[in-house]
Amino acid sequence: MQRTMKKSLLVLAAAMLFSVPVQAQTPKTLIPVGAAVGISLETDEVVIAALSETVTAAKDAGLRPGDILLKINDKTICSTDDVAEAVKQSAPQCTVCYERGGVKHSSKVCLAKTTQGQALGIYVRSSIEGIGTVTYYDPADGSFGALGHGVTDNLSQKRLHVTEGAVYNATVAEIRKGGHGKPGALRGMLGTLRLGTVKANTGLGVFGTLDTFIPEHEAVEVASWRQVHTGQAEILSSLDGERAEYYRVRITELNETENDTKNFLLRVEDDRLLAQTGGIVQGMSGSPILQDGRIIGAVTHVMIDDPTTGYGVFIGNMLHRAEKIQKAA
C-alpha cells in the first residue's frame, strides 16, 4: 500500500492516528444502503446561533455566533430553557462563561431592558438537522452506521455531544452541482416518517438502530482492510431520495496510517454521476463503497479543488467504533 496521499483542502461530504487499521470482529455480511435520510440530533450544548441587531448586550460584551454557553452566573447551561431562566433571574449584569475554539472564556454582560424583560440579545440552539447517507444496515440486530464522520455544528465547528436523536425519511429537492473551488450539495427536507434512533455521534459516523426499514439490496460480505486494493470500485448513493444506484469510481491510493476517515482516495469515473453532481457532493457522506462484491467502506470527504475526488473510511473502522458503542451501552 502507498503510505502517502495528496494533501488538499477538504470539506466533509466531515483525528486520530492508527498504526494499523482496526478490523472489527464483524458480522459476515451487511446490507449496503446508500439511502439519503434526515438526521435530527438533540444536544446538551447550547450554541449562540446569531446575535440580535436591536439588543446588543451580548455583542457589546464580545460574544459571537458559534460560542458554546457553559454558565450564566452560577447556572449551568444545558438547554435553551436554561438560558431564558438564568437571564430572568439575573441582576442587570451577569457573568457569561462560554467556550470558543476549545478555549473557555468569561464575559460580564450588562443586560438590556426590553418590553419582555431583561435580554442578552442572542438566539440560541441545542439541536441540528440535516441530510446524510446511511452506509450499512445489520439485519441481525437492526443497527446502522451512517456518514462515516461525525456531525459538527457549522458555527462552533465542534462535534455535537448527542443526548438523543432520530432518523427520518428525506426528500432531495435540489442537487447543487460541484465545481472547482465550490463544493456541491444535496438539498433536501426531513420527512415525518421516523425510521429509527440515533445512539451516538462519533468521529467515524452516526450510529443507531432502524425500526422502519425495508432493504433494497442484498447483504454482501464485509471486506477486511487487506482485501481493499487500488482499481475499480462502486459507490451506492441516492440522488433523489428514492432508490440508491451504483456509480463507478476508481480507488487511486490507499493508506492505513493516515487519519482514520481518509483511508483511501477515490475518483469518480461514472459519467452519469459527473453529469448530475460534478462528482462527490455534501450529503453523499456515508455512501457505501463496494469492491469485488464486498463492502469496503464509506465516502467521507470531497476535495474542494477537485469534486471528482474524495476520501473514504474503511468499513472495519466504522464497525469497530459501533462495537465499542454497543459494549458501553
Q: 82, 126, 149, 287: which one is catalytic?
A: 149
Give the span between the Cα atoms of 40 and 32, in whole angstroms. 22
Query: What gap in Å lies between CA 169 and CA 211, rounded to an integer?
Result: 12
* DSSP state string for 116-167: TEEE--EEEEEEEEEEEEEEEEETTTTEEEESSS--B-TTT--B--EEEEEE
The residue from 285, 287, 301, 306 that is catalytic is: 285
Annotated active-site residue 270? The verdict is yes
Asked if residue 156 lies in contact with residue 69, where contact means CB atoms within 8 angstroms, the answer is no
Q: Which three cell numbers stand for residue 109?
A: 454582560
Interatomic CA distance for residues 281 and 182, integer angstroms: 10
Q: Which of 44, 240, 270, 292 is catalytic?
A: 270
DSSP run (H or E) holding 274: helix 271-277
Of 279, 305, 300, 276, whose CA–CA distance to 289 is shortest? 300
Rounded Cα gap, residues 91 and 87, in angstroms: 8
User: Residue 313, CB half-sphere, CA atoms under 13 Å: how many?
Assistant: 34
Active site residues: 149, 270, 285
